[in-house]
Structure 1
Amino acid sequence: MIENRPWLRFFSHLILVVGVFLVALPVWVALVGSTQPEGSFNSGSIPMWFGDQGVQNWAHVLFAEAGSTLQIPVWHLLLNSLVMALGITLGKIAISIVSAYAIVFFRFPFRGVIFWIIFITLMLPVEVRIVPTYQVIANLDMLNSYSGLILPLIASATATFLFRQCFMSIPGELVEAARIDGAGPIRFFFDILLPMSRTNIAALFVIMFIYGWNQYLWPLIITTDDTYYTLVMSIKSMLSVPDGDIQWNYVMVTTLLAMLPPVAVVVGMQKLFVKGLVDAEK
């Protein structure tokens, strides 16, 4: 029998409400700040209700320029971030699923050693190998390019490990039945493995998209042309202005725009994302 404790329920809900408030307050401040006129934050007080400059601020940031230090509209930065995030996401998934397929279903020498070599790369994040990676990209003349933004980040030991575990759970009888029916390796991959891995792909898509979208250090290092700046980089550039004359209303608009694509991906793929993480039959 479950004992009914009203005070415990009240305390639990109170913690949830406080948590939601703490998370939502910065978003509310950014939303309100995006509608304020220039200089409204210079008085030392933070406005907590909407102003009358919302349409003008959003239109200026999207189509005019991102700020005093960037002579480029935010829609172009948004496109750069989207290209980079999608390129990294699709590249990671494609390479990882093919490598996991080879490791699980093909017999070749040292395949176990090769998997552990891939797995050990989890200990070498981008920050550790940043100098040699930059040298390689510079030698290949990929600075200030989409390929330079994407290619060094598309390998993923984590995704390879997850796909390997998923493929190892597939019954051997299914593999034998596909072989008896005349399905070759390519047909088995596209007709059986990919449909069975849909939830895993969706979960990894969400994780990798957010990872690619939030990249800051790598784009900062290899881009000197603001044509290839990402949206996350632009926020830092808008805060680095002479005399501290920061246009906070434009910063708030850019911050909200940087939040929208990841939120849209999480909301749109929420069911598949959760199923891919917890479903025992995935």
Structure 2
Amino acid sequence: MRLKKGLMFSAIALAGALVLSGCTDSGAAPEAAPVEKAPEFAAGTTMADLAAAGTMTIGTKFDQPLFGLRGPGDIPVGFDVEIGKLIAAKLGIAPDKIKWTETVSANREPFIQNGQVDLVVATYTINDTRKQVVSFAGPYYSAGQDLLVLAGNPDSIQGPEDLTDKPVCTVSGSTSEKNIAAYTTNVIATDTYSNCLGPLRSGEVVAVTTDNVILAGIADQNEGEFEVVNNPFTEEPYGIGLALEDTEFRTFINDVLEESYKDGAWVDAWKSTAGKVLDTPEPPAVDRY
């Protein structure tokens, strides 16, 4: 199966084309990043606490091919998962010592605020509203919101301007839900994007909307059923969510990200996951706000 090439984004978004090749998830785990041995951190920091515990909890999506998808033994696989492993490794925490917790769009902030997770790496767009209640490291990737339609595009939808009064499905609590409200009030919101596919197949909705890379993964996993309109209309910088005002931890994660850009670990993480479907983009500049 091949999706037509041309998923072109602006400077802070993905630059590349879709090239699909068989099954996205081969089942083989990517090679793990080297785990730091006995790293030292200032007493009282989150890094010191996690390193001493030897374990951490990371929230991610479990239903998004390429970025976070439930794998064998309920261990998620995808680019977000690999980014989480990179951070854990610098804390001296091996992959098998990470507890993965499924997070959906609506519960990411509560999970961080309540201490149910140490981090959230879950196609999590950085925005000013969210920064009032959680902190963000990154961005580590930039995407753009697009539309998924039935193969052949029977409703001839070329962009969000064609959705006036038409039913569209997305996820509750996502930036996609807020963005699409500018084009249609006929929005069906659910908890996961996979729950949008049935309504799209049946004609209950004419499109599913979220970030283009997520939609590309869905199209790849459901060969011949859907296609991406390929007309992104927003920019979505993905960040790593953590507790509000934990400046030391945010700085540490940003350092890890920038190091991974330089030493090739970020590219390796991409190629072993999303890179099976998408060309390798340039990583976005970290925003040290």
Question: Which TM class, normalised by the smaller chain length?
Answer: under 0.3
TM-score (norm 2): 0.25
- The structure in which a higher percent of residues are strand is 2
For the pair shown, which has the larger CA radius of gyration, 1 or 2? 1
